[in-house]
Every structure is written in structure tokens, then in C-alpha cells.
Amino acid sequence: MRRLASLDFMRGLIMVLLALESAGLYEHFFKASENTVLNNFFLQFFHHPWNGLRFWDLIQPAFMFMAGIAMAYSLHQQKQKGITWNTSFIKVVKRSGWLFFWGVLDYAVRPGGLSFELWDVLTQLSFTTLVAFLIFEFSVLFQIIFSIGLLLLTEYLYRGNHITGFDMPFVDQHNFGNFIDTVLMNKINADGWVAINCIPTAVHTIAGALVGKLLLGTEIKMEKENINQKEIANKEVTDKEEGLLKIKIILLFAIACLVLGFGLDYMGVTPIIKRIATSSFTLASLGWCLVGLALCYWWIDILDHKKYLLFFTIVGMNSLFIYLFFEIVGARWFNGYITEITDGLLNLLHLPLILVQIGSSLTIFALEWGICYLLYKKKILFKL
């Protein structure tokens, strides 16, 4: 089975963007561009404070979405090897358990001591992965209806409760998600994030799995009918034609999601709020994920523009490792240590402070990329 090069690229791109954010690069560029036109551009690399949508708000949905696509390809390979559903289920449960463990560990060590928090993307993914797997074998229609049900459930939970102090659906610190956090963790996130985001964002992973099935369609057909490439050509069914048809289907669903998501916000029905993953946000962000995948699939897999992708793919191949590295090791030690060294060396050149800061961030990223490159060369992959 051929690798989906566009997925490898997108996964790598997401991890590169996250690594640069962890290194503090966007903050430096944002400060350096104050009072310029570029300041609005660099503002897109920060989450929207509440009602609205910026580019950076699409990173986590894309992460969930790509996990669904990867799941479809993984389960297809397992089926080819004769692995039973029960065995696959056990593998997914174990994977979800490890994702939950690492997600909790990511936020467990705080300056004030140990902490139990469920806001990390990995804890969210542990839930969405399991949900997407459990309905993976059901029909496309069922999975779409199930996804709509998750969004309606989210609407009901936020709108239908009458808990004093938490009965304002879309008000920060006073919504149902905040209440559940007090039950689960005895605390509320100061920035407005809530643990039950895993319910609506499961739609991203389910949608990814459906897209994965769609992209696998031709190969599965070939396997079942034992058709080779020449026979396909004789039947006037080419990979390019099949690929373009898939892209049209993906874009149709993308348009529907974008219209519904932004329409709900525009009409004042449900605001687009990433921090509590409202249904309108889920739909709008899914629409952009579908557009992004369609463009990458067209450019990379259909038109075969696969040169110069290695810079991104080697990071994406060890996405879990590098994420945990810059989240745990980087944030708590590595970044500070490297910054002290690079700041000291660059200051010898009497460079402006902003250039020193940018240089330090780029050095941190370069070293993290170098670690991924060494793992790639040694063929070491960290998987759950």
C-alpha cells in the first residue's frame, strides 16, 4: 500500500509549526512587527481570545483530523495482515491509554507542585481515537449522523443546564464546560479551555477516518478485484481521475461545513469559540481542515510534487516524540538552557535584542529538528 505523502507532509508541517511556537519564535516576530502591517499577520499565530477564528485555532483540529486519516490507513493494513477486530480494539485501547497518560503527564508538573489536568491535546485525542474506532466499521451515513449527534449533544449540554453560576452557555468561566472541570479537576482553566472539548472535537477524528476511507477507495478496489495498473488504464480509470473525484467530494463537504459553521456564528445562533469547541467552531475548523487536505493531496499525491518534503516529513514521522520533547523537556529545561548559550554568544556581536531572541528561538528549533533527523537516519520511530 502506497504511503499518503500529503498526510506525511501535513503531519510534519503541524509539528514544525508547534515546535516553532514552543521555541517562542512567533512572540518575537509579533513584538518586532508592532505598528506595522505584518503585526496582523503574526497575530494569526495566536489563539483568538474568545469569539472568532484565527489560523492558530486550526492547529489542534488538524491534529485530530490527521489522526483519523492515519487510523483508517492503519486499520486497513491490519486487516490486510489478518488482524481481527478484537485485536485491533485492544491495540486502540492501549494506545488511548498511553495518550491519556502522556497528556496528563504533560501538565502534571507545575512550579507549585503536582497537578491533574485534562486540557492537553493528547488527553483529548485519547477519547476521540477510541470513539472514531468504535464506529469505524459502520456506514458513512451512520458516522455522519453520529457526528451531528455529538454536535447536538454539545449544544444541549451548554444550553440545557441550569446550574447556578454555570448556566451562561458561551460566557467564559461561567459555562457548562467550566462546571465539569470543577467536578473532574476541582479547578477552572484561566484561559477558558475545557475538558469536554473532546466530545465535539471527536467529529474531527471521525471525519478524518471517513476521508481516509475515501482516499483508500481505489486501492481497496484494486485489492478486491486483483486489478493491476495496466488493466485500470485499459478501463480508462486512472489514478488521477480517481484522485480528482475524491478531491471534489472532499471540497463539497468542506464547503458545507464552512457555510454551516460560519453561518451559525453570523446569524447569532452559536458563536465560533475555539476554547470551548462550540459546534460552529467544530464545523468551520473541519471545513478548513478538509480544504487543506484537498489542496495537499492534489499538489503532492495527484501532481506528484514530492520533492523537498523531507524537511517536514522527518518531523512528522516522530510527531509524538517531538511533541512530548518540546512540551516537557523543552518548556522545562532545554529552551532555557539553549537560550542562555545563544544569547550569550550573539550578544558578543552586539546585535539588537530582537535579533538575538529570534536567533535563540531558531537555534532551539534547529536542534530539535536535528534530533528528529538523527532518529530518521537511525530508523527509530516512537509509536504507541
CA distances for 241 relative to 248, 325, 368, angstroms = 11, 41, 40
Q: What is the DSSP letter of 51?
A: B
- Compute the distance between CA of residue 12 and CA of residue 3 in angstroms, rounded to an integer: 14
Q: Would you say 2 and 305 are in contact if contact means Cβ atoms under 8 Å apart? A: no
- Compute the distance between CA of residue 150 and CA of residue 203 in angstroms, rounded to an integer: 7
Question: At how many degrees (to 10) do helices 121-134 and 59-80 cross?
Answer: 40
What's residue 228's pLDDT?
Answer: 54
- Compute the distance between CA of residue 99 and CA of residue 89 in angstroms, rounded to an integer: 15
Q: Would you say 274 and 55 are in contact if contact means Cβ atoms under 8 Å apart? A: no
Q: Which residues lie below 8 Å from residue 194, measured CB to CB, with a gap of 6+?
A: 119, 175, 177, 178, 180, 181, 275, 276, 277
- Compute the distance between CA of residue 239 and CA of residue 75 in angstroms, rounded to an integer: 22
- Which amino acid, 199? I
Long-range contacts of 91-100 (CB under 8 A, 24+ apart): 92/129, 92/130, 92/133, 93/130, 94/384, 95/129, 95/384, 96/126, 96/127, 96/129, 96/130, 97/126, 98/384, 99/123, 99/125, 99/126, 99/129, 99/384, 100/126
Beta strands in 28-119 (DSSP E): 109-110, 113-114
Q: Would you say 261 and 282 are in contact if contact means Cβ atoms under 8 Å apart? A: yes
Ordered alpha helix ranges (H), 267-318 = 279-296, 310-316
Phi, psi (rounded to 5 degrees) for 295: -65, -45
What's residue 83's pLDDT?
Answer: 94
Q: What is the pLDDT along the chain (384 residues), one digit of tens a residue?
A: 678 999 999 999 999 999 999 999 999 999 999 999 999 999 999 999 999 999 999 999 999 999 999 999 999 999 999 999 999 999 999 999 999 999 999 888 887 788 999 999 999 999 999 999 999 999 999 999 999 999 999 999 999 989 999 999 999 999 999 999 999 999 999 999 999 999 999 999 999 999 999 999 844 454 455 545 455 454 445 678 888 999 999 999 999 999 999 999 999 999 999 999 999 999 999 999 999 999 999 999 999 898 889 999 999 999 999 999 999 999 889 999 999 999 999 988 889 999 999 999 999 999 999 999 999 999 998 887
Q: Nine-digit cell at 5?
A: 505523502
What's residue 300's pLDDT?
Answer: 94
- Dihedral sign, Cα of residue 147, residue 149, residue 153, residue 159: positive
What's residue 13's pLDDT?
Answer: 96
- Compute the distance between CA of residue 362 and CA of residue 151 in angstroms, rounded to an integer: 40
Closest alpha carbon to 337 in 27, 16, 32, 23: 23
Q: Angle at CA 125, nearest 5°, toward 173 and 55?
A: 65
